[in-house]
Each structure stands twice: as C-alpha cells, then as structure tokens.
Structure 1
C-alpha cells in the first residue's frame, strides 16, 4: 500500500467549485481508495492505494471528481518525500528572522528543468522571490499571496504545467499528518 497526498486546485474558493470534504472522502472510498483523510477545505486528501504511480492516482481522482461533482479540478499528487524535501531544500528557511506567513510552495505536475526559473521572469515581481527544486517552486512573497501577480495561474501559463500552491503552515501540517 502506498500513501499519496492529492493536492486539488481551485476548490472551495470564493464560492466556486464547492466540494464538501466528507462527500469527496465517501466518493474516493467508493472507488477503492483506503484510509482517505482530508485536511481543511482547500483540497488536501491523503489516500492509500496499491497504485504507485502519482500520475495515475491524480488522473483517477480528477476523473472521479468530474463524474461525481461535475467540477474540472486539476490534481497534483505527491508523496511524503516531496514534503520532506521541502523542509530540507527550501532556501528561504535559511534566512534569519524569516516570516513563515510569507512562505509558499507551488507543487507542479512535472519535474522542472533547472533553468525554468528563467522562464518565470521572477525579476519583474520583485521584491517577491522564487527558487525551483525539482517539481517544487519555493516562493517568498514580500507582502503576501493576495497582493501579487506571481500566482498559480502565472506559473501554469509560463511553464505549461499544472500547479497548486500551499502556504508554509499547510505544508508543515501535511508533513505532520504523513507521520
């Protein structure tokens, strides 16, 4: 059995794509996922399955959400190691007096090239900062996530990927839940 973490993008935001976590849990259990557990309403779902492929799990969940609820919801599936790497490799954690409320991680659907940071043209968003590591983009917002154009839509458009962003508190809680 493999435990996967499905990160759903764009649900329960400003009254759009409303999806109750209890209903999602029941739906995913009905198609064979085990030990389904959700965390907050923003679409963080742990599932156990014999399937090891994160892409296959993401496709199954995305397809089932559309069938059951009629929502086209992008899904990025990660493992415990992805969250552990976040803590090990996030360059902003090394800064003195870091404000954790300004730290975010964008999880993307593919492993990015090391030069993908150039494609993002992050310098036009200064003083926001970003760093790429595999299938993660570490972000430090200067003011906050709600006051920048360097968001998930921008990342998806520039890199042609599916992306979903979580704040540092959520990333920390999800790792604790994995353990």
Structure 2
C-alpha cells in the first residue's frame, strides 16, 4: 500500500465548495481507498492505495468529487518526501528568530525552474519573499497572508499552473501525520 496526501484546493472556504469530511471520507472509501484520514476541514486527505501514480489518484478523486458533490476541485497529490523537502529546502527556516506564522508553501502541479521566479514579479510584493524549489514555492509574508495579493490565485495566473497553499503549521502537522 502507498500513502498519498491529497491537497484539495478551495473547499470549505467562505461558504464555497462545502463538503463534510465524513462524507468525503465515505466517498473515497466507496471508490477503493483505504485508511482515509483528514486533517482540518480544508482539504488535507491521506489515502492508502495500491495505485502508485499520484496523478491517477488525484484524477480519480477530482472526478468523484465532481460526481458526488458537484464541485470542480483542483487536486495536488504529494508524497511524504515532498513534505520532508519542505523542511530541508525552505530557506526561510534558516533565518534566526523566524516567525513561522508568516511561512507558507504553495504546491504547484509542475516542476518549476528558478527563472520562473522572474515570471512571478515578486519585486512588486516586497517585502514579501519567495523561493522556488521544484514543485514548491516557499513564501515568507512580511505582514501575513491576509494582507497581500501574492496568493495561490496570483501564482496560478502568472505561471499557468494549478497550485494550493498551506501554512507552516499545517505542513508540520501533515508531516507528523505521515509519520504516524
């Protein structure tokens, strides 16, 4: 069995794409996933399956959510290694006295190149800071995520990708769950 972490974008946010986690869990079990576990109400779902392909897992879940709930929900499936690399490769964690409440990670649907940082035009969002590492964009907000225009929608528009963001506390807790 392989454990996949499925990140659903934009569910249960401000009354949109509402989905009870119990109903989501039941739906996923009905299509063959095992040991389904959720974290929070915002679309963090662990599933066990024989399917190795993360893209196939994501596609199956996206299709079934549309069929059952009627929501078009972008999905990104990541591995335990992806989460471990968040800790290893996040340059902002090396800073002294870093406020982890201002750290976020955007997971994107493709591998990015370092030149993609130019496409993001991050200089217009100073003093927010960004670093790209493969399919992860590390963000350090100067004030906070609620006070910037540099968000997942902006990333998707500028880079023509699917993305979803998680705060550092969620990343930490998801890795803990992966290790249980």
What's the TM-score, normalizing by structure 2? 0.99
Q: Residues 139-158 of structure 1: matches in 2 within 5 Å?
A: 139-158=139-158
Q: Which stretches of structure 1, 4 residues or more, deviate above 4 A after TM superposition?
A: none
Q: Residues 125-136 of structure 1: matches in 2 within 5 Å?
A: 125-136=125-136
Query: Which residue number corresponds to residue 13 of structure 1?
Result: 13
In 2, Cα distance between equivalents of 1:144 and 1:17? 24
In 2, Cα distance between equivalents of 1:6 and 1:68? 17
- Cα deviation code 1:54-82 (max 9, x no counterpart): 11111111001000000000000000000
> 1:97, CA displacement in angstroms?
0.6
What's the TM-score, normalizing by structure 1? 0.99
In 2, Cα distance between equivalents of 1:104 and 1:152? 11
In the alignment of these two chains, the number of paired residues is 179
In 2, Cα distance between equivalents of 1:73 and 1:40? 17
Query: Which residue number corresponds to residue 83 of structure 2?
Result: 83
Classify the secondary structure of the residue corresponding to 1:139.
strand
Which 5+ residue runs of structure 2 have no aligned equivalent? none
Is structure 2 residue 65 aligned with structure 1 residue 72? no
Classify the secondary structure of the residue corresponding to 1:96.
coil
Classify the secondary structure of the residue corresponding to 1:146.
helix
Query: Which residue number corresponds to residue 96 of structure 2?
Result: 96
> 1:114, CA displacement in angstroms?
2.0
Is structure 2 residue 45 aligned with structure 1 residue 45? yes
Which 5+ residue runs of structure 1 have no aligned equivalent? none
